[in-house]
Amino acid sequence: MVTSFMLAGNVPHLKQLPEDLPIDEMLRARLSNLPPGQSLYETDLIELAEGLEGRSQNPIPLLVDNLLRPCADLGIQADSLIEWKYDVEKQIDHVVLGRGPPGGAWHTFPAGVRTLSPAGWLALPPHSSASSAPTARLPARAVAAYCRRYVHACGLQRFFRSGVIVSSVTLAPRGPPPCAPACPRNALFCVSGYDKTECRPFRYVCRRVVLAAGAGDRPNSLPPHLAAKSLHSLAAVQRGLQLLARHPGNKPPSVLVVGSGVSAADAVRLARSAALDVRHVHRTPADALARLSPQAYPDYCHVYKMMIDGPTGNYQNYTPYPEHMIVEITPVPGSKDTHINEKETSLRLKRVKLLNLITNETVEITVCLIAVLIGSKPDLFFLQTNFNINNMDIKNCIKCIDEDEKRKIEDENQRQCFLKNHWHYIKAVLGQSIQSCKSRYLNYTEINGNTNTKCIVPDCNKRNGITKIGSSDNVGLLEKCECEEKSNVCQCQPTNPYSSGIGFGIDPKKPVDGRSNPIAIDKSTHELLNAPKGMYALGPLTADNFIRFIPGGALALVAHIHKESKMTAE
């Protein structure tokens, strides 16, 4: 939405800098060298952002956040340092394609879920956030309603096309030279898809593509034989909890929640508020919970305390199972609940076997609903198309050295530059590896799933047989059970192999993940490194998971588009 606002001809200009505003001193010095009213499209944004630190690892989003919400992290409510002016000559024709209404995932959250960000961080340009309460948290549905109003208030509805599914983004076929700048033969990309409202396919040809698809389309799940009996979205969990809350008996139904992050904490809260018995399987609580302030987030901090206290906490309607994993889920035969619809198979009684990863002991519990909320990944199936590696502009990060020296130290400098620019991602991956090293040693699957027996026979948890693998100099031990596998049924995850975005991340050999392996971009323009020129990304795909940092990514790419257009015109 904010990218569309800028492409529609709204240009950011700097205001006069107040002398009493305690912003970063180096940023103040750099801004003082610019004339008042300077267009940010005409400035070196990466130079202005040098040295800034904050909750984003992308420099220009940090810069724009400091200008839109100066001193926000200090709790100071100050007016924006950016003034927006409409310039018809800066308008760029574009179309915004989305599966749902403007606001995306905000429309899918339950009504009782509140935002992590305070209200003052959620306003989009040109709206000011200075009048908002600095610590007030809004219901997710209020943010969804704001997004709908934003499009109409800014006059952007003509650019939006909702209710469509993009199926492919391919390189446009090369033909004769274009007859004019607006000629379709001048396009670089062909975007195809299907309109669910009109029930017909569509196709656009364009020079540039912006990826802003978010990072929550593919929830992480248990292995297939366990995932079928579980729910993986907070909205589906809430619907199930509402049905279970109507139970007629004296004993409340039990709910099993799997996960240690914010979404899992929401499920625990919702279940306990519905007077249901909660069983919570989790690993080490996520950093996102540990960093929250008890004053601003008492609900999440209470769940965090229950997780930390463990079985000794003795909380009502809450039983934690730290360092456990699900081994088996078996429907209870003959169980019929008159208050549950026949089609609601996910709410039938189930017997769940849990394995303690520390003691290697198992325990069985009976639950009605299993909520698996262990993160999500973006769905980038539409990018696995006919891109040609010969047409990709793979940018290196070597600057300001002469060509002779560049040839000698190119490989080493690239490695050092990669570590310097992406140390935060490496740190995150190492932290996650350390936290899960115990579970990786004890169980076969990375996320709660089968034991390392890899056996499909129920109740088999034997580890008596030892088989040697490898050469005599490098012998490994493979633990196996005494049973022999009796089925050739494939146990692979039934997902689209092209959805993971392999090839586009910082580590191109791994799937794209908004936290541990975001899309690799040029920090100064937000242009994809491992894709043809003219493709950009912003938001959670680039690890900017807070709304407050999205305008910075939009400014980076829109400024780059205008600079390229100006150079082409000259």
Residue 68 has pLDDT above 60, yes or no: yes
Residue 347 has pLDDT above 60, yes or no: yes
Residue 524 has pLDDT above 90, yes or no: yes
pLDDT of residue 188: 87
Once rounded to an integer, what is the mean pLDDT over residues 344-360?
87
CA dihedral over 333, 336, 337, 342, signed as positive or negative: positive
CA distance 58 to 63: 9
In this structure, the number of other CB atoms found within 10 A of the CB of residue 14 comes to: 19
The full set of domains in the chain, from first to last, is 218-376 (3.50.50.60), 385-421 (no CATH)
Residue 125 Cα to chain centre, angstroms: 22
How sure is the predictor about 470, in pLDDT bands with cuts at 50, 70 and 90?
A: very low
Tokens representing residue 465 in the block = 């047989």
Condensed to tens digits (0 to 9), the pLDDT of residues 158-217 reads: 999 999 999 999 988 877 777 766 677 778 899 999 999 889 999 999 999 999 988 888
Residue type, 320: P
Q: According to the 3-state scheme, what is the secondary structure of 179-221?
A: CCCCCHHHCCEEEEEEECCCCEEEEEEECCEEECCCCCCEECC
Report the Cα–Cα distance between both ends of the chain, in Å, rounded.
Answer: 30
pLDDT of residue 16: 87
Q: Give Cβ neighbours of residue 333 (< 8 Å, ≥ 6 apart).
A: none
Task: Give 164: exposed, middle or buried? Use CB within 10 Å, 0-12, 13-18, 19+.
Answer: buried
pLDDT of residue 540: 92
Percent of residues in the chain assigned helix, strand, coil, to nearest 5: 35, 20, 45
Q: Name the average pLDDT for the chain.
A: 79
Residue 413 has pLDDT above 60, yes or no: no
Residue 465 has pLDDT above 70, yes or no: no
Phi-psi category of residue 17: left, alpha or beta, with phi > 0 → left and psi -120 to 50 → alpha: beta
Beta bridge partners of 331: 350
Closest by CA to 323, choosing from 285, 365, 292, is 285
Once rounded to an integer, what is the mean pLDDT over residues 467-480?
35
Please report the beta strands in 232-317, taking only residues with DSSP state E, as ranges in sequence order.
254-258, 277-282
Please report the beta strands in 498-546, taking only residues with DSSP state E, as ranges in sequence order.
535-537
**Helix pair 550-569, 59-68: axis angle to 10 deg:** 110
Residue 442 has pLDDT above 50, yes or no: no
pLDDT of residue 426: 55
pLDDT of residue 387: 59
How sure is the predictor about 223, in pLDDT bands with cuts at 50, 70 and 90?
A: confident
Condensed to tens digits (0 to 9), the pLDDT of residues 240-272 reads: 998 888 776 667 889 999 999 999 999 999 999
pLDDT of residue 191: 93
CA distance 445 to 466: 19
Buried b (16+ CB within 10 A) or exposed e, 379-391: bbbbbbeebeeee
Once rounded to an integer, what is the mean pLDDT over residues 552-567?
92
CA distance 187 to 170: 11
Residue 55 Cα to chain centre, angstroms: 15
Once rounded to an integer, what is the mean pLDDT over residues 273-287?
89
At CB < 8 A and 24+ separation, what contacts does 141-146 make? 141/106, 141/107, 141/109, 141/111, 143/103, 143/106, 143/115, 144/101, 144/103, 144/106, 144/107, 144/109, 146/103, 146/122
Tokens representing residue 320 in the block = 């934690």
Given the structure tokens 């973006």, which residue do they identify?
A: 378
Q: Report the percent of the chain where pLDDT is more than 90.
A: 38
